Amino acid sequence: MIVSDTDVRVEPGSFRDPDNQVFYSGGEVLRGLRARAAEQWQALAASDFFPALLAAGKVCGTEPVEPARFPTPDGTPWAAVLRHERIPFVSHPYEWSFGMLRDAALLHLEILRAALPAGFTTKDGSAYNLQWRGARPVFIDVGSFESARDGEPWAGYRQFCQTMLYPLLLTAHLGVDFQPWLRAQVDGIPPEQMRRLFGGARRLRSGVPTHVHLHGAMQRRHATASTSEVRAQLRTAGYSRELALAAVRRIERLVRRLRPAVSATHWVDYQRTCTYSGQDRAAKERFVEVALADGPRPGLVLDLGANDGRYARIAARHAGYVVAVEQDPVVVDQLYATLRAGYERRILPLVMDLADPSPGGGWRGVERAGFTDRARADLVLALAVVHHLAIGRNVPLAEVVDQLAAACAPGGRLVVEFVHPDDPMARRLLANKPAGLFADYHPEEFARLLAARCRVQRRVELPCGTRTLYQAVVGG
């Protein structure tokens, strides 16, 4: 069957490589290839290393389909079309923890290390070429593979440094969270910025002399030279595929040694220091378990304010996939390490401030979709989060309820906890605010706002008497 133009939606971020275009049709993820890219695909599929990566799940599932079925933007037929597996939830590198970015970088280097002896390389080195199946990274840019040529360096090295290595160095050597830096610049952190951060004694930190200062100096030296001239110089100097492979191994050793130089935060030990009693926690877990089991099995659950993932794990027993969002990078990193150790493939932890979620970014603001455009869940868990937004961040209570409801797909379910103003945690937040500022923050007003947007199915007050749980259907 021929697919019509109206049934095809082009991926907004797929425009930088004219030989490859990712698009969607009928729920499928597809990649159209022009003639040159199709030749590379045929060679790649016939290689020994690529099928092994596919079988190990390190590269996203990929298979050819009939190209004549799918129209092209300019009317010229595709030379080939590939169908890829659908990633459960698309995330961006500035939403990952340190351990996640490091493991994604190591996977990219492992793939490159397998490709080079087989005569292939990756022309891109971007962190955006990786996604997640739960706590396992997967390489998604099959169009990035191309034949390697002797005497040529890794074309993706600059991208790799700017979107993966440099962010890791920031956190490992300076204790600076990399997420805001990556979010601010879609192409990553340029070497000239890194060079200014790593002056004096800092310039001797592991990885900095070679990949920051020498890299920056080489870029300045060859700023006016063409790519072909640089390649000719390297071939004359004896640069070979073996040297390229050795360089990849050195970068891999460097990345593997990096550790975050950040201190523990209040939220790391929240489950022990919070005001929940054993009875409260047991009642809350029962409520969440029943809400998840009540109705159709949710395909996607959002756990907003996930902390250590206690409720995300409960959700994973009832759902196809869980995205666990938490603001604190250290907490997310600990959760990721636990999930990875347990080979969890249905919970994806993400770093995000719910009062400042990831916006759209890149070209025209759509190259990287904002979180609210990606997140439409069958069920949303918002446990012990409303008071942090309404009191801690001064977001009007009505807007908090609106945003939680908007995170649900039509007919989706919302499980939300309201912390009363006389609860110890709410009193702690209110103590730093002017008296009378939150006059509308009370249980009756929250119940009214929720009922105006949802059909409330269940309501339970926890044994402490200062927290109320609601189960509701959005738009019901």
Report the mean per-residue pLDDT for the chain: 92
d(CA 419, CA 442): 9
More confident residue, 56 or 229: 56
Give mean pLDDT, residues 443-455: 97
Beta bridge pairs of residue 132? 137
pLDDT tier, 262 (very low <50, low <70, confident <90, very high otherwise)? confident
pLDDT in tens, 295-311: 999 999 999 999 999 99
Which DSSP letter does residue 313 get? H
User: What is the pLDDT, as a whole number, of residue 151?
Assistant: 76
* Closest CA relative to residue 252, chosen from 164, 326, 320, 183: 164
User: What is the pLDDT, as a whole number, of residue 335?
Assistant: 97
Task: Say whether 46 sits in a helix, a strand or coil.
Answer: coil
Res. 1: pLDDT tops 70: no
More confident residue, 71 or 141: 141
Res. 275: pLDDT tops 70: no
User: What is the pLDDT, as a whole number, of residue 265?
Assistant: 65
Give mean pLDDT, residues 188-198: 95
User: What is the pLDDT, as a whole number, of residue 243?
Assistant: 87
Lowest mean pLDDT across 253-267, 334-348, 459-473: 253-267
pLDDT in tens, 334-361: 999 999 999 899 999 999 999 999 999 9
d(CA 345, CA 136): 7
pLDDT in tens, 353-408: 999 999 999 999 999 999 999 999 999 999 999 999 999 999 999 999 999 999 99
User: What is the pLDDT, as a whole number, of residue 237?
Assistant: 52
pLDDT tier, 152 (very low <50, low <70, confident <90, very high otherwise)? confident
* Closest CA relative to residue 385, chosen from 428, 299, 325: 325
User: What is the pLDDT, as a whole number, of residue 145?
Assistant: 97
More confident residue, 234 or 263: 263
Beta bridge pairs of residue 282? none
Q: Would you give the distance in Å from CA 442 to the centre of its chain?
A: 35
Let me know: does 438 contact 398? Beta carbons within 8 Å.
Answer: no
Let me know: does 125 contact 157? Beta carbons within 8 Å.
Answer: yes
Res. 411: pLDDT tops 60: yes
Res. 176: pLDDT tops 60: yes
Res. 227: pLDDT tops 80: no
- Kindly give the pairing relationship between strand 120-122 and strand 467-474: unpaired
User: What is the pLDDT, as a whole number, of residue 8?
Assistant: 87
d(CA 60, CA 136): 12
Q: Where are the beta strands (DSSP E) in 100-223?
A: 120-122, 130-133, 136-139, 145-147
